Amino acid sequence: MLSLDKVPNIVLILLPSLSVILASGAVLWGVHWFIIGRHPELGNERKFPRQLILLTLTVVSIISIVFTLPIDESSRNQIIGLIGILLSGIIAFSSQTVFANFMAGVLLRITKPFRTGDFIRVGDFFGRVTERGLFDTEIQAETRELIAFPNAYLVNNPVSTIRSSGAIVSATISLGYDVHHLKIEPLMLKAAEQSGLEDPFVNILELGNFSITYRVSGLLTEVNGLITARSNLFRTVLDILHGEGIEIMSPTFMNQRPMGDGQSTIPTFVAATPTQETVDAEKIVFDKADQAEQIEGEKLQLIAEIANLETTSPEAQITDKAQLKEIINKKKERLKTLEHTELGEDNEKNIPEAAPTMNQQRNPVAGNNQSTNTVDSHPENG
């Protein structure tokens, strides 16, 4: 049985270890609050390096506690060796994948095959890029799902990117041999023009056993409306061809059921009823991608504006210099806020208003007939 006179000795022996445990816990808690806890707006990608710092400090704290334990030297060395073996095993099993994704992320940032907001196709997946990280890339699919790709997968597989300057929208149909192609092609060109596509053209893709396969294509300059533009093209092709009495045939008609001489596959005309409001499908489907593209564009604009303001002529008046410095600081704060913004459902509510421009700062005193100085010779892009 433990005697009371030995308790002070035991406490003195354990005091260094208890002190290190308490100090390590306080330090880890303080560091966690300072680099992670007080930044709830950080995304997972930006939290990762901070979590690595916290993990390193945790390992150092554990080793420090082991050194202060009241045990013999051989036992202490065995514990430290066990910790080293565990860490080595974890690093050995995970480093290959982690390092491969990290290097692939660096390569994607150098080559820049796509940017935030672009439409890309990888394998069977298609969507808009919402986030580009060092280890993975996230896209938003047409079903509004968020799909994350390891960067190594994007490097090892072909990636198709729709150019922001325009995309080709196409519709493929099969028509019978009884209708001459010189009659079909003008109608399909008319359908493409009415659907809002520019520079339309028609190709004959295949001469099948029972039908001819046509494809009508046109240039869509506003790529953000890709889904709606494709649907409008299909709808217009149906309306124009059926309006001209042309059946959109397929070889399966012959295989499924016989067609009578006077039987037609053209549906009965139905007058369109006006709808209350047209739903913008792209804003619903690609909401996060729209936010990501908007933030990325504003960041690039802010960087250009800050560089432009910092090179303003030194001949500006003293009051304008102070005003200029204030505007630059506000733009830098705005840029920092955008850097730490995590996209989500309520992202637009959480983002503060954009930084004011030089002209907006001067509007309150515009009525005092103050003269315009050389600062105005460098207008902002925004």
Quote the CA–CA distance of 106 and 135 in Å, as a whole number: 9
Instruction: Please report the pLDDT score of residue 108 as a whole number.
Output: 86
Is pTM beyond 0.75? Reply is no
Which run of H or of E encompasses 147? strand 146-150
With CA atoms as reference, report the closest residue to 290 among 75, 137, 119, 143.
Answer: 119
Q: What is the DSSP string of 341-377?
A: PPP-TTHHHHSPPPPP-HHHHHGGGGGGTPPP-GGGG
Q: What is the pLDDT of residue 171?
A: 93
Strand partners, 147: 139
pLDDT value at residue 318: 47
All residue ranges of the chain with pLDDT < 50 are: 1-2, 255, 318, 345-350, 352, 358-382
Contact between 328 and 354 under an 8 Å Cβ cutoff? The reply is no
Residue at token pair 């207008």: 379
DSSP secondary structure code for residue 175 in this structure? E
> What would the two tokens of residue 187 be?
């109608």
CA angle 20, 22, 28 (to 5 degrees): 95
The residue written with tokens 């149909």 in the block is 173
Strand-strand pairing, 212-220 and 167-175: antiparallel
Q: What confidence score (pLDDT) does residue 313 get?
A: 52
Instruction: Please give the single-letter amino acid code of residue 150.
Output: P
Question: Which tokens sit at 253?
Answer: 């008609």
- Please report the DSSP string for 197-213 in residue order: -EEEEEEEEEE-SS-EE
In tens, the pLDDT along 11-61 reads 677 777 888 888 889 998 998 888 888 776 666 566 767 877 888 888 888
Q: What is the tens place of the pLDDT at every residue in 273-327?
A: 655 555 565 665 566 667 777 777 777 788 888 778 777 655 555 457 777 778 8
In the prediction, which pLDDT does 277 show? 58
3 state SS of 313: coil
Q: What pLDDT sits at residue 4?
A: 59
Question: Could you tell me if 356 and 331 are in contact, meaning their C-beta atoms sit under 8 angstroms apart?
Answer: no
Sign of torsion over alpha carbons 165, 163, 167, 343: negative
